[in-house]
Amino acid sequence: MDSGKGQIDLFLRRCDDVMHTSFILADAKIAELLKSIATSDLLYIFFQNITQNFDYVSAQLRYMNYMPYPGSRKHKLLFPEDPTEKLAFIFCLLVDIDTRVIDLGEFLSEYYYAEGDMNLGFRQFGAEVVLPLKNLIRQMFRSGATDPRVVRARGKAAAEHLARIVRSERDRVFESSLADAKKVDGLLILNALAEAAAKADARLLGGLLCGYGYFVRAAGWKSENISDMFSAFEKFKEQL
């Protein structure tokens, strides 16, 4: 794990892909952008946290019904001033577009009409919706970022990364040819490690990892997961 830098870089590239594509490819590029969030422990946890208590329905009523000109039938898309609420609103909007709750063509005609030029309308959409998303994430996750939501997301992502390695090691021990007694000892420690990782309990994780290290040496057990677990734990501690 690289503390999320690679995950953030991929997300930023996917934002660029959306902004630089044509309308005909927009659906696919938006899907790839959202996939870069879903497959990133760090971004998935972050967006999960900021949307948990976000009232998207109320936000839609507030920010998607403004008509800038008297008598106009077209709306202007507005955005929350708070950066975190803005991120939550844009994320939910993109999900609605991706799941076809909102038809992108109709949305562009309503909010970014450009005399029938869907590509021009989509570029305006990219500038007003996707570019702020990109810039806010890049700013919030830059090196040394202290936003508490980012810090929590990084800690949880690091713990989940460690938990995945522990689960892999648990499967490997269970399927191994170790004597049953040794196998049971190893699995007891690994089960406790998985639980501690789920709780992101650094003190318990450290103690259990030390115990597993003794087990490995005593049992003569070898696995590529072992060094990965200790490395992931060090990365986890860096986020505390």
Tokens standing for residue 85: 């609420």
What integer pLDDT is reported at residue 2 of this predicted model?
Answer: 46
Count the neighbouring beta carbons within 10 Å of the beta carbon of residue 198: 14
Q: What is the mean pLDDT of the chain?
A: 89
* CB-based contact 164:187 (threshold 8 Å): no
What integer pLDDT is reported at residue 69 of this predicted model?
Answer: 67
Count the neighbouring beta carbons within 10 Å of the beta carbon of residue 122: 26
* CB-based contact 166:194 (threshold 8 Å): yes
User: What are the tens digits of pLDDT across the range 13-51?
Assistant: 999 999 999 999 999 999 999 999 999 988 999 999 899
pLDDT band at 179 (very low <50, low <70, confident <90, very high): very high
H or E segment and range at residue 65: none
Q: State the average pLDDT over residues 183-194.
A: 94
